[in-house]
Structure 1
Amino acid sequence: MIVRQALFDGTIHAGREAEFRRFVSERLMPMWRRFVGVRRVEVMFALERDEGAPSYPLVLAMTFDDAAALTEALNAPVRFESRAETGELMKMFDGWIHHHVFELAE
């Protein structure tokens, strides 16, 4: 199994935390669940972190059967729709998104 994570590295604009969460839950999560071949979608909102640790207010993890399934999902139209919506989300966020791909240990 392959897991692709998106780490939202930065901070949500002050006073917009609830709006940010609602946007993710109502607009992005339904799209992420429609990705071709996705087995599992996990959306994690940060509660706390170690002192001095980077701020990741949102982490998305999507699980796929294999690298080929991930590639297919990344080339599907819904991904490009979700990227446009994520652009709207970023108007409430100072920072950037980076992605990491992992292979699950058996």
Structure 2
Amino acid sequence: MIVRQAFFDGSIHPGKEAEFKAYVRDHLIPMWLKFPGVKEVRVLYAIERDDGAPAYPMVLSTMYDSREALAAALDSPIRSASRETTQGLLSMFEGWIHHHVFDLAEPETRDA
């Protein structure tokens, strides 16, 4: 499995946290779920971090079967539309967004 994550590196404008989350829920998640080939969409909101660690108030994580499926999603019209819609979110955010792609290892389990 391939996981693509978008790290929102910075801060949500003070007092805009609830509006930010509502915008993601109401406008962006429905679009992200329409990306062709997407298997999973997860949005993580920061609670705490180590002293000195960078601030990532939100991380978007999407999962695909392959790099080819990810490439098709990134080339899709819905992805272009979601980038336009993201501009509304960025009006509540100070910072930048960077993306990382991972190969998901098989899960390890511990003995009971």
The one-character-per-residue Cα deviations of 1:79-105 (angstroms, maximum 9, x if unpaired) are 011100111100100000000000011
Q: TM-score, normalised by structure 1?
A: 0.98
Give 1 or 2: higher helix fraction: 1
1:55 counterpart residue number: 55
2:28 counterpart residue number: 28
Matched, 1:89 2:89: yes
Aligned length: 106
Amino acid at match of 2:59: V
- Once residues 20 and 61 of structure 1 are traced to their aligned partners in structure 2, the CA distance between those partners, rounded to angstroms, is 17
- Once residues 21 and 51 of structure 2 are traced to their aligned partners in structure 1, the CA distance between those partners, rounded to angstroms, is 23
Instruction: Choose 1 or 2 for highest CA Rg.
Output: 2
Pairing 1:1-106 to 2, within 5 Å after superposition = 1-106=1-106
Structure 2: gaps of 5 or more residues = 107-112
The Cα RMSD (Å) is 0.6
Q: TM-score, normalised by structure 2?
A: 0.93
- Once residues 85 and 105 of structure 1 are traced to their aligned partners in structure 2, the CA distance between those partners, rounded to angstroms, is 32
- Cα displacement (A) at 1:51: 1.1
Identity fraction in percent: 58
Amino acid at match of 1:36: P
